[in-house]
Structure 1
Amino acid sequence: MKELPSHLVSEDFYIWFNIKEKEEYYSTPLYLYNVLRKDTDKENDEEKTRDETRVYLKLEKDISKTKLNRKKEIIKHPSTIYIHYAESIGMLLINFLNADFSSFASAYNTFFYAYGFELIKEYVPYIYSKNDEFITDIEFMDMLEDIYNTCLDDLLEWQDNFRKCVDFVYNLNGNEEYKEQSISSKFVAYAIKNDIYTYSQDVEVILDNYINIHNRHHNESIEHLMKGIEDKNPNLELHNVYTSTKLRSICFTILDQLVRQENLPIKTCQICGRYFIPTFRQNEIYCDLPNVDGSATCREKGATINYKKNLESVPALGLYRKMYQQKVMVVYRNKEDKKIKKDFDKWKKEAQDKIKLFKQGKLEEDKLYNWMIENK
């Protein structure tokens, strides 16, 4: 039986899940080319507790826009089971469903930058002789293109099969049948009828044990250990670890985990059409997935769309926006007049306070509208 690596993970792919925190963790060697490593998955999030064992990855730059030179040295970085990569649960599957395989650059930008090549190494075994060798960015691009060309047909086939399965199970993209049936029963039935069950092969489950926890925490005091256990520290809990050399098998394992949880539905974004798992509420309609070009997420765009809809449906809010724009222009044209700026700031604060009361249900719409009229 395979055991967890006690030191560096220089090959293979390991993944495990934390249902409570809605996260998945994985360990695998990565090149980390044009990739940022962060200690939180949220930008400017001061409330989220930092965990030194978790590393979150973000694509720094589209590799197709990177100027290549033979002086830059790249090497495959090992990881460990203790200090591992972390992301929202189901993200590997979601990223695979959404991956753009139209070119080797887009394939890297949307998928392989985060997960590497251990799950498809059967196609290009020769590259794995370079674990400890530096290569130039030009050699890296050549290698990436070779990997892409070798496994593209299978990648597209697996992606299509998983999309069809997810669409059926979660009633997406026009699939309206069996809405009354449970997610899990639809998944199992579909897998059996469509031979996708074969993807469940080639996965090995490594049963966690206290030896691994001992190796990581034996130097801590017993008081600190007991507190961590009582606080449900995930690093002090047993988690089964899944390992495979097949991308399709890991994706099946993740989907199998998701269909068992009623609070982890897969949906499609009403703006971009990509698959996503809601972060806060199950009725979310916009995804929060990053874009390769760094543009605003659909959730951010959706907030603007909803705001405009509110303006159109609530006359008082539409009037506020119109007055706001007019007053801003007056301030801009009279930059030297401090009184105009002071009056504007006072009006803006009072108006926003009134709107806040309205949204809280503490002020009627007609009273808000009348206040706007009286304070033009």
Structure 2
Amino acid sequence: MILQKRGTKMDKDYSSYKPTEYEKYRWLRANNKYVTLDINTNFALFPRDNRTVQIQVNYKYEFVNMYYWIEDGGTEEQLNRFVSEHTPKEEDSKEYLENKIAKQKQSLAAFESRYKIESRHFEDYVETFYEEHPEITREPLHNILSGCNITLPLGEGILDFVYADFDSAYKDTALIYGLIYQLREEYVKNNKDKQTEERKEFPPEKIENQLDERIHNYYEYYFSCDDTRGITEVSLYTAICPPVIKRSADTYLSIKRYYQYLKALQKEYLDILQFCFDEDYYPELLGNMTTAERYYTFRMAKDFPPFIERNEELYMAFAPLMDEKTHTYDFVATVAQLKTEYPAEPLGRLAAELNTSADTLSHCLRRTHRLTRRYSFSSTEEMLELELSKMIENDIRFRKCKRCGRYFIMKGNYDTRFCDRIVEGETRSCQELAAQENYKKKMAENVALPIYSKYYKRYAARVKVNQIKKNDFKKWKYEALVKRDECSAGNITPEEYIDWLEGCFPNRKRKDK
């Protein structure tokens, strides 16, 4: 058999190719010419037995960190150019930066009102930089959560994402860019001859080394955070993982593609919550299955692989010593350890064997460490999948609220059909409103309750004017409740209950029934 040469009959024709659902799934979530979804690497930790997730947000592409990076590995000319590009040229530009910083603080405060957010370490890092460089104008953060450590209940991040209003955010964000896109299209259509000249005027940026690449990525991230802020700050995970979008003529299309990515993820996870956790969803088929079994079935039905890839690291982090009895940090012992002095002779010999200095070895020996298992993630999708897998591992369940119809996290053995969420337009949670409605229903159905309430108010008023002694009223209250329950149970009639109540303090004329 003679094989045909490439370029003839062995070429492939994909014009009729039909992708599988999983291929569509991966394409929608992959980086493309419009958007990069995984620019930064963050870390998530899942402490044992406390059903929380702790997230460490990267600050790689913030101004201060980039300054140190360029100062350490770049030229003086690169550093000066980097600083000058961030220096306001006019007084109103400084006012703009100050207003931007103030708005970012408001946005951060909104997240802090919902989650435990610790930013002191990074704030100290930034403050130290500006104290050492008073000549540099303070630069707003590109990501308001950069450098933060965030703690939230396991599952809360998923709920926050699936109920985020990306539709309104996209409408507001895309409006201006959609107009710019239309104007740009008109310009291109009417000025085709100028396109070649413009390409010559703005040639591709030349990348000569790793530092050039990082600076280029920094500016893409810098502008993208501003362009997408209206959408990303709608939910916690999108704020942690902002995308990098293609700017200029394609900014509108890039924002649209990012919005489509988020909406597809929202639908997927709402489907997962329903299929894997909803007790009323096909109970005759799924009622006896565990959450893990339901999730496996869901993935198989969707033609997804029966596994999830997670990026796990064993991190050797500095940490205070722990008291074995109380399981709390022992700072006294930690400080004592940090002050330990080691014999010079063996210290020098071991340092020589390790090809390091005695000071470096001494520093390493004094520091207290703890092995920490953590997971890296770079996109919203990765964090959602990681959190869901950890929920299944820890048997944490969602339930749909019978009042507002939204899912909520089941807490321990506390069995409730209503969430503690305050729905927009209400001042009390679904649990409180349901309790109030249940009470009113019981009042309406149970004739003994309004009878008891009527006589309670009557005799309480007489206590205030000293017609009835407090001790007598207290004794009466207990007996009246017992009689009320007997009446509710049908052991005595309402008329018998009223006769008894009337006879308790008969110092006033009885009204006719």
Report SS of the residue matched to 1:25.
strand
Question: Which residue is equivalent to 1:310?
Answer: 442
Contact 1:99 1:110 in 2 (8 A): no
Q: For residues 422 and 164 of structure 2, what CA distance do their matches in structure 1 show? A: 12
Larger Rg: 2
Q: 1:21 aligns with which of 50, 65, 68?
A: 50
Report SS of the residue matched to 2:46.
strand
Contact 1:200 1:249 in 2 (8 A): no
Amino acid in structure 2 at the alignment position of 1:216: A
Q: 2:452 aligns with which of 311, 320, 323?
A: 320
Q: 2:263 aligns with which of 145, 156, 173?
A: 156
Q: For residues 315 and 194 of structure 1, what CA distance do their matches in structure 2 show? A: 55
- Superposed CA deviations along residues 81-136 of structure 1, whole A, max 9, x for unmatched, are 7xx2222211001222222333118997997353453424144799xxxxxxxxxx
Q: For residues 469 and 253 of structure 2, what CA distance do their matches in structure 1 show? A: 61
- Superposed CA deviations along residues 10-58 of structure 1, whole A, max 9, x for unmatched, are 95433222352222222337945343576997xxxxxxxxx99699xxx
Aligned CA distance change for structure 1 residues 256 and 316 (closer, same or farther; 3 Å): same
Q: 2:298 aligns with which of 171, 190, 201?
A: 190
Q: For residues 152 and 368 of structure 1, what CA distance do their matches in structure 2 show? A: 65
Contact 1:29 1:77 in 2 (8 A): no
Report SS of the residue matched to 1:286.
coil
Report SS of the residue matched to 1:301.
helix
- Superposed CA deviations along residues 202-224 of structure 1, whole A, max 9, x for unmatched, are x5222233xx1xx232xxxxxxx
Report SS of the residue matched to 1:300.
helix
Report SS of the residue matched to 1:174.
coil
Amino acid in structure 2 at the alignment position of 1:33: Q
Question: Which residue is equivalent to 1:94?
Answer: 159
Q: 1:181 aligns with which of 266, 289, 312?
A: 289
Report SS of the residue matched to 1:208.
strand
Aligned CA distance change for structure 1 residues 267 and 206 (closer, same or farther; 3 Å): same
Q: For residues 14 and 121 of structure 1, what CA distance do their matches in structure 2 show? A: 17
Contact 1:258 1:265 in 2 (8 A): yes
Report SS of the residue matched to 2:421.
coil
Task: Show the 5 A alignment for 1:123-142.
Answer: 123=245
Is residue 2:363 matched to residue 1:231?
A: no
- Superposed CA deviations along residues 262-313 of structure 1, whole A, max 9, x for unmatched, are 3x21110000000111224353100112445572111111221232233345
Q: 1:168 aligns with which of 261, 270, 275?
A: 275
Contact 1:28 1:78 in 2 (8 A): yes
Amino acid in structure 2 at the alignment position of 1:183: T
Task: Show the 5 A alignment for 1:241-260.
Answer: 241-260=374-393
Amino acid in structure 2 at the alignment position of 1:315: V
In proportion to residue count, which structure has more helix?
2
Report SS of the residue matched to 1:207.
strand
Question: Which residue is equivalent to 1:33?
Answer: 106
Amino acid in structure 2 at the alignment position of 1:253: L
Question: Which residue is equivalent to 2:234?
Answer: 112
TM-score, normalised with respect to structure 2: 0.46
Task: Show the 5 A alignment for 1:264-303.
Answer: 264-281=396-413, 283-291=415-423, 295-303=427-435
Amino acid in structure 1 at the alignment position of 2:326: D
Report SS of the residue matched to 2:315.
coil
- Considering only aligned residues, what root-mean-square deviation do their CA atoms show, in Å? 5.1
Aligned CA distance change for structure 1 residues 312 and 22 (closer, same or farther; 3 Å): farther
Report SS of the residue matched to 1:87.
strand
Question: Which residue is equivalent to 2:345?
Answer: none
Amino acid in structure 1 at the alignment position of 2:300: I
Contact 1:11 1:118 in 2 (8 A): no
Contact 1:14 1:26 in 2 (8 A): yes
- Segments of 5+ residues of structure 2 without an aligned counterpart are 1-38, 60-103, 121-138, 173-229, 331-368, 506-513
Q: 2:319 aligns with which of 210, 216, 225?
A: 216
Amino acid in structure 2 at the alignment position of 1:103: S
Amino acid in structure 2 at the alignment position of 1:285: R
Deviation at 1:345, TM superposition (A): 8.8
Amino acid in structure 2 at the alignment position of 1:22: R
Q: For residues 449 and 231 of structure 2, what CA distance do their matches in structure 1 show? A: 41
Q: For residues 166 and 287 of structure 1, what CA distance do their matches in structure 2 show? A: 15
Q: For residues 153 and 207 of structure 1, what CA distance do their matches in structure 2 show? A: 35
- Segments of 5+ residues of structure 1 without an aligned counterpart are 1-9, 42-50, 56-72, 127-142, 218-224, 332-336
Deviation at 1:232, TM superposition (A): 4.0
Deviation at 1:164, TM superposition (A): 1.5
Contact 1:199 1:248 in 2 (8 A): no
Aligned length: 300
Amino acid in structure 1 at the alignment position of 2:376: T
Q: For residues 375 and 255 of structure 2, what CA distance do their matches in structure 1 show? A: 25
Report SS of the residue matched to 1:267.
strand
Contact 2:296 2:306 in 1 (8 A): no
Contact 2:169 2:234 in 1 (8 A): no
Q: For residues 243 and 54 of structure 2, what CA distance do their matches in structure 1 show? A: 20
Q: 1:121 aligns with which of 230, 243, 247?
A: 243
> What percentage of residue pairs aligned between the two structures are identical?
15
Q: For residues 392 and 483 of structure 2, what CA distance do their matches in structure 1 show? A: 40
Q: For residues 116 and 21 of structure 1, what CA distance do their matches in structure 2 show? A: 25
Q: For residues 110 and 292 of structure 1, what CA distance do their matches in structure 2 show? A: 21
Q: For residues 352 and 102 of structure 1, what CA distance do their matches in structure 2 show? A: 56
Aligned CA distance change for structure 1 residues 27 and 360 (closer, same or farther; 3 Å): farther
Aligned CA distance change for structure 1 residues 226 and 120 (closer, same or farther; 3 Å): closer
